[in-house]
Structure formats: C-alpha cells, structure tokens
Amino acid sequence: MNVADERTKSCWMEFPLPRRRALHGNMEADAVVIGSGIAGLSVAYELAARGRSVIVLDRGGIGSGMTARTTAHLASALDDFYSELIKSRDQSTARLLHESLAASIDRAEQICATEGFDCDFARLDGYLFLAPDTPREDLHSEFETCRGLGVAVVEQRGIPLGGMSNVPALRFARQARFHPLKYLAGLQEAILGRGGSLYANTCVTSVEELDGTVLVKTSEGHEVRARDAIVATNSPINDHVAVHTKQAPYRTYVVSGTIPHGSLADALYWDTLEAYHYVRLQPWSDRDDLIIVGGEDHKSGKADDGEERFGRLEQWARARIPQLKEITHRWSGQVLEPVDHCGFIGKNPGNDHVYMVSGDSGQGITNGIVGGMVIADLIATGANPWSEVYNPSRKVAGSLGEYLTENLGVAKNFAEYVTPGDIDSLEKLKPGEGGLYRKGLHKVAACRDANGVLHTRSASCTHMGCVVHWNSLEQCWDCPCHGSQFAPDGTALNGPAVTALADESKLAVEAG
Ligand SMILES: Cc1cc2nc3c(=O)[nH]c(=O)nc-3n(C[C@H](O)[C@H](O)[C@H](O)COP(=O)(O)OP(=O)(O)OC[C@H]3O[C@@H](n4cnc5c(N)ncnc54)[C@H](O)[C@@H]3O)c2cc1C
Ligand code: FES
C-alpha cells in the first residue's frame, strides 16, 4: 500500500501504469532502486542506459506515489525564487541550480524523442504574475536576479488569463509539461527493455551498507544485494536526522476541469503568493483541454479543511478562466520543502554506496530527473557538476532562522502528548471521522472508516514519535514532522515511516 490508497484521485490516475508482481525471492544486481516515482525510475533508467543491471522495488504499484498526484510543470524558473536561493546559498549555486533544471527539461525532451514516448511533452512559456497584495518589488528583483544568472526571461505587462491584460509578469522561455504517468510508463518499458526488473507491493524495511555492498531487506523477508542502493522514496526511509531536519512537509491541493480546446494559451502560470497558485493545461479530448489549478498549501497535519480549500481554488479559477466548464477531478498531495530551496541528491550522509533523492518542493519532477543524471554520474564516474548544489550532507547555516522554525514545529508537536484529546466519545465518531484522545501518557488515534469500522491505534508516528493528525479529505493520518502518512487501520502509506501505527491495546499494557 502507499498514497494511491488515499481517497482523492488525480486526473493522471485515469492512465494507470501496467501492474507488476511483488518480489518473491532473493536477488542481486549492480543497483537496487527503492521507489518507482519520477526520481526512482529516472535513476533506474539512467543506470540501465549506462549498462548497469537494475532492480526497482516499490511498496505500492509502480509510479503510484506522489508522482501520480503532481501537476507536472517542468520549470527552470524557481518556485521559491532565485533571489531567495542566493540569500540562503550563493550566486554560483543559483547559476548551477538553474543549469541543472534547464538540463533536466532538455533530458526529458531527449528521452521522449529517442525512446519514442507518447506522453504529451510540449515546450511552453511560463508566466510568473503578481498576485494582489504581494510586493511588486519582489517580482522585479527576481527579474534582475534571473538576468544576472543568464536565465531567458522578459518583464512584461499582461498574461493570457482573464482580466489580467495589465498585470506585471515575468515570462520564462523553454519551460515544458508532460503527462507524468505516460512518461513513467515509457521509462518503465525502457528499463525492462534494457534488462532491468521492477517489483510492486514490495516494502523495503532496511537498507544496510556492508563492506563494499548494500543489503536491502523487505517486509516479506526477502533480500536484495547490490553494489549500490538508491533510496528514492520521496521522504527518505533510511535517514532519521541528517536530511529530515532540513526539510518540512506541506500538503497542496488541485482541481481540474474542462475548457474548450484552444480557448486559453497553452502555458504554465504561477502567481506570487507564498502558497502560490499554479496552473497548466493538459490535452484531454477532441473537444476539450483540462485546466489544472493548484495551490492552498499548508503545513502537513496543520489543517483539516480540504473541501474548503477545493472550493477556494475553484472560485479562484472561475474568476480568471470564465471558459471553465465542469470540474472533473480534485486531489491533494504532499511536497517536502527544503529550508535552503535546493533538493537533496547524492550520497546518503555517512554512506559510500547508499544514495538518495528527496526535497522536491514544488519542483520534484525536475528534481527527480536531475536525480537520475546526478546519481548515475556519481555511481559511474564519481563526479557530476551539480553534485555540490544538491549534496545531502551540506550544512544549512544560511537559513538558520527558518531551519529552527521548522524544527520548533517538531518540538511543538511533542508537546501535544500532554494536551487533552479532541474527541470525547468513540461512539459519536461517524464514518469518515477521526480524532485523538488521551490514554495515560499516550495519545490514541481513533477513526471510523468509510465502511463504519472503528480503528484505534497509537497516535505516535513510527518514524520518530510525533503525534499524527486526522485528514478527513484523504481519510488518512498525516504526521506533521517529516511527512509520514498512515491508513485508517494504521498501515504506513508514505515515508519516512515504514511500519504501521502500533496497536492501541498494547499501549494500555505498557502504560499500565
Ligand atoms: C499536488 C502536487 C503538485 C505538484 N506539482 C509539481 C509540478 O508542477 N512540478 C514539479 O516539478 N513538481 C511538482 N510536485 C512535486 C512532485 O510531483 C513530486 O516531488 C515528485 O513527483 C516526487 O517524486 P518521487 O519519485 O520523489 O516520489 P514518489 O512519486 O512518491 O515515489 C516514491 C515511491 O517510493 C515508494 N516507497 C516509499 N517507501 C517505500 C518503501 N519503504 N519500500 C518501497 N517503496 C517505497 C512509494 O510507494 C512511491 O511509489 C507536485 C506535487 C504535488 C503533490
Ligand atoms: S514522519 Fe518523522 S516523526 Fe512522523
């Protein structure tokens, strides 16, 4: 199981990837990749293309993690702004980061062309436009910074969205979009075609570096030995502190609906709000395109009002896109925000043969494609020109303020163990409702699933013990600390947690 078992479904999930079987024995390969989203399959593809034998393992279906919930803007513009990145890192890092993002779009285009993928890849302009009540100077300063970095951008007035003929905006050239699951389907076939293997429904529980090799164990007791392992589980399952203290999880929301084909310029659109709106088109039928509108982000586990957020997104879209017809899909997902605005790609801190890709922010698709290029180079030659930008072992002292703020969030979460719960009677819980109650020194997570079955589990996240919060939209438990998610019955759906929330009856024994 993974996040595919949560309640909402994206427009991409109407194109499911072919099913693969689970691992049924022990195996060996040059490289074992854990996770089959954009990051895992990009790494596996690049390694297979360099002649390495590759095994991919995923605890859910292939390609059914956060990549199935994305909106797949392929942008070399930086959603957190290059001007902010220079404050937390430096000019040279910003230049290299831009180079890597632009190269990742080129790489996706090249792979689509050489492998013959039919995945709706298209080059487009991207418009960053001023949102009401946000400072105009920030937009201009981003323009000046981008020009200094050599980014292809122009400052202009007006964008194609309704009522915005005079809005200040930046137009970035050579951005792109694709259908993420059609792209992953192509990668999967290409990996298989080069002798790689992929196993679904295979949960990895440990990744251990031995003398010059790596041993990966699964929950079913099988083992894979390889020279190198790559943890591409979105939120790393093998790391407790080094990276998790440098990023924080946010939930983000999307609605999509039909508009007549050709009635809006095919482009990427983003506004300047902190929880910014992001908009793109997707070819859908002979008559209609889909317009896909995202935003309304909040720190994971800190709000449980998904329906209201969908309502606000639809209202925002209808005010600017009057040609919007019926809403077809509504979904949410989670992104991980690194405190210094760069993802984490490279050797897992403390290891020589274990690598990782994480820290996607709103640009995890390009981050994943960069991950493929960087890790394949590091494994094959030991070097890549962008490796220092993304080095998971880097210090983040430049962003100390934000870093501390995010970690205070973790401290605040632990304080929840002594607060009263938010439900007083299990009988009153209706199907789809959940909440916390206190039992001695413990918090219990109680919910009644859609079928009316009551589940009571320990509310203590099995990663590092933070208190989980009920998400009534997705019918799951979200951990605000590092992004784990759990099904109503406690099964782990999203990393870094691997094991289920503990049985509440066992808590009573320990507490007593
Ligand atoms: C709503 C939304 C909109 C977004 N929009 C954009 C956008 O426009 N542009 C952009 O660039 N990015 C965007 N992002 C971010 C981007 O989609 C993600 O960062 C990216 O898809 C993550 O890819 P991944 O491969 O790291 O993770 P995933 O796709 O989640 O893949 C990780 C895989 O690892 C598996 N796994 C986890 N634990 C284990 C385990 N223990 N054993 C085995 N397998 C395991 C999971 O089942 C999963 O399949 C968006 C994200 C969301 C949620
Ligand atoms: S995800 Fe780390 S404590 Fe829950």
How do residues 112-137 score in pLDDT, each as one tens digit? 999 999 999 999 999 999 999 999 99
- pLDDT category at 422 given cuts 50, 70, 90 is confident
Q: Examine the pLDDT at 417 and tell me if it is beyond 70.
A: no
Mean per-residue pLDDT of the chain: 93
pTM of this structure? 0.95
Gap from CA of 153 to ligand 2 centroid (Å): 40
**Per-residue confidence (pLDDT) for residue 511, from 0 to 100:** 41
Give me ligand 2 centre to Cα 207, in Å.
18
- As a whole number, mean pLDDT of residues 330-338 equals 96
So what CATH class is 3-69+181-239+341-396? alpha beta
- Kindly report, as residue ranges, where domains of CATH 3.50.50.60 are found in the chain: 3-69+181-239+341-396
Ligand in nearest proximity to the CA of 465? 2
Verify whether ligand 1 is closer than 6 Å to residue 65 (CB atom).
yes
**In the numeric block, which tokens belong to residue 219?**
């929950």
What the block records as the tokens of 370 is: 């960069």
Domain 117-176+246-338 annotated CATH 3.30.9.10: yes
Task: Determine which residue's CA is closest to atom 3 belonging to ligand 2.
Answer: 464
Pull the structure tokens for residue 331: 């979904």
For the cut 80, the answer to whether the pLDDT of residue 408 exceeds it is: no
Q: With a 6 A CB cut-off, is 201 part of the ligand 1 pocket?
A: no
Looking at the domain that runs over 416-511, which CATH code has it been given?
A: 2.102.10.10
Q: Who has greater pLDDT, 241 or 293?
A: 293
Q: What stretch(es) of the chain map to CATH 3.30.9.10?
A: 117-176+246-338
Tell me the CA–centroid distance for residue 484 and ligand 2, in Å: 6
Q: What is the pLDDT of residue 366?
A: 98
Instruction: Please report the atom of ligand 1 found closest to the CA of residue 203.
Output: 42
Please tell me the predicted confidence (pLDDT) of residue 60: 97
Calculate mean pLDDT across residues 275-299.
Answer: 97
pLDDT given for residue 505 in this prediction: 80
User: Phi then psi for 123, rounded to 5 degrees?
Assistant: -80, 140
pLDDT tens for each residue of 202-249: 999 999 999 889 999 999 999 999 999 999 999 999 876 788 889 999
CA-CA-CA-CA torsion sign (299, 301, 303, 306): positive
Task: Band the pLDDT of 397: cuts 50, 70, 90.
Answer: low
Ligand nearest to the CA of residue 17, numbered in listed order: 1
Question: What atom of ligand 2 comes closest to residue 479's alpha carbon?
Answer: 4
Report CA(65)–ligand 1 centroid distance (Å). 5
Looking at residues 475-483, what average pLDDT do you find?
96
Stretch 18-46: mean pLDDT? 97
State the distance from the centre of ligand 1 to the C-alpha of 3, rounded, in angstroms. Answer: 10
Average pLDDT rounded to a whole number, residues 38-49:
98
- In this structure, which residue's CA is closest to atom 35 in ligand 1? 35
Which of 31-35, 234-238, 281-285, 303-307 comes out lowest in average pLDDT? 234-238
Burial of residue 138 (CB within 10 Å: 0-12, 13-18, 19+) is middle
Ligand whose nearest atom lies closest to the CA of 241: 2
Q: How far is CA 266 from CA 107, 122, 280, 290, in A?
A: 21, 9, 7, 11
Q: Whose CA is nearest to atom 37 of ligand 1?
A: 233
Q: 496 CA to middle of ligand 2, Å? A: 7
User: Is the model's pLDDT at 446 over the cut of 80?
Assistant: yes
Are 10 and 206 spatial neighbours (Cβ–Cβ below 8 Å)? no
Region 242-267 average pLDDT = 94
Whole-number pLDDT of residue 424: 81
**Any atom of ligand 1 within 6 Å of the Cβ of 237:** yes
pLDDT in tens, 152-163: 999 999 999 988
Separation between Cα atoms, residue 163 and residue 168, nearest integer Å: 12
CA–centroid distance, 365 to ligand 1, in Å, is 8
Residue nearest to atom 18 of ligand 1 (CA): 364
Distance 460 CA to ligand 2 centre (A): 9
Percent of the chain exceeding pLDDT 70 equals: 94
From the CB of residue 167, how many other CB atoms can be counted at a distance below 10 Å? 18
Region 90-99 average pLDDT: 97
How far is the C-alpha of 418 from the C-alpha of 123, rounded, in Å?
Answer: 53
For residue 317, the number of C-alpha atoms closer than 13 Å in the C-beta half-sphere is 30
Q: For residue 369, which phi and psi values (nearest 5 degrees)?
A: -70, -40
Residues at CB less than 6 angstroms from ligand 2: 461, 463-466, 479, 481-484, 496-497
The contacts of residue 452 (CB under 8 Å, 6+ apart) are 431
Q: Is the CB of 282 under 6 A from ligand 1?
A: no
Half-sphere exposure of 89 (CA within 13 A, CB side): 24
> What is the model's pLDDT at position 440?
82
Residues of the chain with CATH 2.102.10.10: 416-511
Our mutation pick for probing the ligand 1 site, out of 5, 64, 234, 367, counting the most ligand atoms within 8 A of Cβ, is 234
User: For residues 164 and 98, is the Cβ–Cβ distance under 8 A?
Assistant: no
Closest ligand relative to 235 C-alpha: 1
